[in-house]
Amino acid sequence: MRILLVSPDPSSRDLMRVAVGSLERRLGEPLSFLDATDGKNGATIGLREDPDAVVADEIASRAGAFSLAKDLRGAAEPYLGPIVILLERRQDEWLARWSGADAWFVKPVDPFELADRLVQLIGERRTGPAVRSGDTRESA
């Protein structure tokens, strides 16, 4: 299973890596990571490599996480996997929704909540979404 991590800050990517590390055990598949330092490179890698999920820091410079999600969703052959954005502030939730992200979390992120949501989103990609009431795309 491949996860694309997008942030200009290497320590932020390392924290993301640790936060989603439990996916390997929970899904029974080895994890590998693809790294991008900004949204533009992230979109290129995401469309070329089709990772199982994308986790992007809102502050992904040049083209940010919102632009990344828009580019991935709006491509001629769109990326269909889960996109999770890590927000600096709650006021940006509407941008995450607008961009096409599947989930978003305001930092600091609880790594267990992030991993739980990724397990759910990856499972839905593989088997189709479960029936739920309300907006399922919004995360704490």
Domain limits of the chain? 2-127
Q: Which amino acid is at 87?
A: L
Mean model confidence pLDDT for the chain: 89
Predicted confidence (pLDDT) at residue 131 exceeds the cutoff of 50: no
Q: Indicate the pLDDT class of residue 129, thresholds 50, 70 and 90.
A: low
Measured CA to CA in angstroms, residue 52 lies from 1, 32, 95, 126 at distances of 6, 10, 23, 10
Beta bridge partners of 3: 33, 53
Rounded Cα–Cα distance for residues 18 and 119 (Å): 15
Cis bond upstream, residue 108 (ω within 30):
yes
Q: Indicate the pLDDT class of residue 133, thresholds 50, 70 and 90.
A: very low
Domain 2-127 in this protein, CATH class = alpha beta
Average pLDDT over every residue of 88-102: 94
Task: Give the rounded percent of residues in the chain with a pLDDT score beyond 90.
Answer: 83
pLDDT at position 136 is 41
Please enumerate in sequence order all residues whose Cβ is within 8 A of that of 25, keeping only pairs 6 or more positions apart, or say none: none
| Per-residue model confidence as pLDDT tens digits over 103-112 | 999 999 999 9
Average pLDDT over every residue of 77-92: 95
pTM of the model: 0.88
Q: Indicate the pLDDT class of residue 63, thresholds 50, 70 and 90.
A: confident
